[in-house]
Amino acid sequence: MRHKKIMIQGTGSSTGKSVIVAGLARIFYKDGNKVAPYKSQNMALNSYIDEDGLEMGRAQVVQAEACNTPPRAYMNPILMKPNSDNDSQIILEGIPYKNMNAKEYFKNTEYFKSIALKNYKIIEDNYDIGILEGGGSPAEMNLRDVDLVNMGMAELIDSPVILVGDIERGGVFASLYGTVLMLDEKDRKRIKGIIINKFRGDIDLLTPGIEDLTNRLLQAGIDIPILGVIPWVPLNIEEEDVLTNKFGKNQEKNDLNIAVIRLDKMSNYTDFDALSYYRDLSLNFTLSKSEICEADIIIIPGSKNTIQDLIKLKQLGIDKIIIEQSKKGKIIVGICGGYQILGKEILDPHMIESKDKVIKGLGLLDVTTTMEKEKQTFQTTEIITNNTGLLKGCMGCSVSGYEIHQGVTESKESSIFKNKPNLGVLKDNVFATYIHGVFDNSIFTRTFINNIRISKGLEPIDDYFDFEKFKVDEYDKWENTLRNSLDIEKIYEILEKKEK
């Protein structure tokens, strides 16, 4: 069977490219194909570790889950993790490469293109269909010569393109028309269809606009069909670049209220997605001292730069708030960088994250972390061997997730796991671990939450939220939405097209 590919590009960021890729990938998979998602270059602090211990962007993980294939780093060979407004850590084929600013990065375009092409060849050789995601807009003409995520990538592998516009933002017809007209003829010819996404209301009111867009394109000598209009639906599928939305949507108070400290360099905020679906929990990302004080559970999440975030917490006085709340018996949780922050001190002998070689932590745990040159990246499954306090009833419970951390921690606290004593610790009301995704494990999470409920005089709840099944159901719902909204037969026809 000849390998086929198709690329989803958008008129800008947040048009829904990543979830449309996930939905189409699921359709192709359900129709009997072996499918792989691909994004040559991703920029995100939210990452994942694959089965080989290689780092990749989480958007491609979601897309891989949707088409029932193991996520692999070759699906996202270039990951940029911002250090500041001016530079990023470049993760190349799952391994840290170097820190680079934009000018330096673009000077190496040809090398990065060779990496992108090499990794797509793996997909070409092993999958029936590759479905690619673009980034931002293809009409950034100042970047066309160095582009390797939109038309530059489509050109490298000779892929047809579907262009997506987001009508919820307004101006969808202008953005679609303008994007198409801005492209040079060679790139424009790659666009084989248009999708309008996130429509609310009566479709009949949209029809005149669709007809006008089609006619205007035809008058310009451009024949691109509209493949469908996707309605706005409440969708619980992880998207890229939605952290600001999470910050802006505070949940109402519940039996137990959780405050996730909104670190400047927060990474892997999806660690807490599962918690947002428990019926007795309220989850908010915040820097508000009053909200932190009112919370029953305070979580310090992972960080791309733990030391800088720790310094910022001290500048804001939030470190003192967390310490005070801990003394009052509030539950304090640290995940990865949060685990390091809760310790006595962080040592940075190689000045990887700071000019300070030693910085004092919050001191709630008797642990010390040393920043090493090599990043620790593993998939992890461990059995809980601690059966006290917050972990009562968790003995023998299996917990799976992944580790991404620059620091190596030495602990004198009570360990959670027998085989890896520094992987997680418990001290009275303070719980910390390096495992990203720890709360995706439903038996552990419900038992942990029930122990907190009991400590507050609340009855335990005997429901175990199955996050994996929940995600599968959401993928199926989204698949059905796309099947009912798009001309899938036409999309299969586009898969067959070549443009050389």
DSSP per-residue codes, 308-368: HHHHHHHHHTHHHHHHHHHHTT-EEEEETHHHHHTSSEEE-TT-SS-S-SEEE---SSSEE
Query: For residue 436, which amino acid is it?
Result: H
Please tell me the distance from the alpha carbon of residue 110 to that of residue 252, in angstroms, as a whole number: 50
Beta-ladder partners of 37: 131
Answer for the pair 485, 228: CB distance below 8 angstroms, yes or no.
yes
Place of tokens 């190689």: 350
Q: Which of 67, 394, 397, 436 is catalytic?
A: 436
Nearest to 477 by CA among 26, 15, 14: 26
Alpha carbon distances (Å) from 395 to 204, 243, 418, 470, 490: 58, 34, 11, 26, 54
- 3-state SS, 167-181, equals HHHCCHHHHHHHHHH
Nearest to 37 by CA among 75, 88, 7, 85: 75
Nearest to 154 by CA among 127, 123, 122, 188: 188
Q: Which of 67, 336, 394, 397 is catalytic?
A: 336
Nearest to 288 by CA among 324, 336, 321: 321
336 is catalytic: yes
Tokens for 478, please give them: 């989204």
Please tell me the distance from the alpha carbon of residue 325 to that of residue 66, in angstroms, as a whole number: 41
Q: What is the DSSP letter of 209?
A: H
**Residues with a known catalytic role:** 336, 436
